[in-house]
Amino acid sequence: MATTILGNTGIEVTPIGFGTWAWGDSLFWGYGKDYGEMELRQAFQAAVDRGITFLDTAEVYGLGKSEELIGKFVKETHATTQIATKYMPLPWRFRKEDVADAVTNSLKRLKMPSIDLYQVHFPAPSFLSQEGLMDALADEVEQGRIKAVGVSNYSAQQLREAHRLLARRGVPLAVNQMRYSLITREIETNGVLAAARELNVTILAYSPLAQGLLTGKYTASNPPTGARSLDKRFQTAGLQKLQPVLTKLTELGDKYSKTPAQVALNWLMCQPGVIPIPGIKTATQVEQNAGAVGWELSAEEVMELRYLG
């Protein structure tokens, strides 16, 4: 599979990655009830078999369980992977040593000597300044315990500041992980995407299928149940408004023998410097998402979807 580079780091990853928020999370996703370790192991193996080896996790996913499962599966299969995880800047983590301790704990759970990409989960207020946080992360790069630094949910101004602080230490800012999809495009108008491209910071696009809206599974006559039914986008008016987009995704899917979801993911991969990271729980989802790779929408089709979205 072709690879792409994370920012200015030289680290090669696959053009699509997979998110693992649901791995071990029983509170929100129902781990242990609707699915379990067996399904996740099969999903991991399916990803490796398809050559997709870039996985995104966080220390808070499943309260560490997600990292533990990834470490276990990598060790079992001896697979070569690129692992991204995240640090939560909680208010009581006010020392640089707290960052070092968090890296140590993630390394233990992942059973790895180093982490390919270590990201700040949110730009949360903290007694540890941004300067102190970025210095602590640069220390970890110099020690070889993390290979690259990223951020998540950072505004354009916060992104520029993180980039500046790391550059003082000779460390490039690799990524900004943001919500981004064909119908969730705030980063195109709030300056984040422009700043990322100017600074050569990769955008990791989470929720690239808008929580399933772009799969074509849900329509006004077939709305979702559960928590998503409370979201206006999933209610009748929202689904009716989305119909022209879904119709075009289906039309292009028919042309390329792809599903609407695969077309939506491919649209993101056609955006310079963007890597989608859809969440997965099953091997079937892996196979579905992997079908977005290995082909490309035309420039005209990309533009047509842009105007519809």
61, 87, 154, 206: the catalytic one is 61
- 174 vs 149: CA distance, rounded Å: 6
- 266 vs 302: CA distance, rounded Å: 9
DSSP per-residue codes, the chain: ---EE-TTS--EE-SS-EE-TTTT-TTTS-BTTTB-HHHHHHHHHHHHHTT--EEE--TTGGGGHHHHHHHHHHHHHT---EEEEEE---TT--SHHHHHHHHHHHHHHHT-S-BSEEEES-----SS-HHHHHHHHHHHHHHTSBS-EEEES--HHHHHHHHHHHHTTT--EEEEEEE-BTTB-GGGTSSHHHHHHHHT-EEEEESTTGGGGGGT--BTTB---GGGGGSGGGSHHHHHHHHHHHHHHHHHHHHHT--HHHHHHHHHHTSTTEEE--B-SSHHHHHHHHTTSS----HHHHHHHHHH-
Q: 25: which 2 tokens?
A: 């999370």
Active site residue 218: no
Which three-class secondary structure state does DSSP give residue 149? Answer: strand
The torsion angles phi and psi of 52, rounded to 5 degrees, stand at -100, 105
What are the residue numbers of the active site? 61
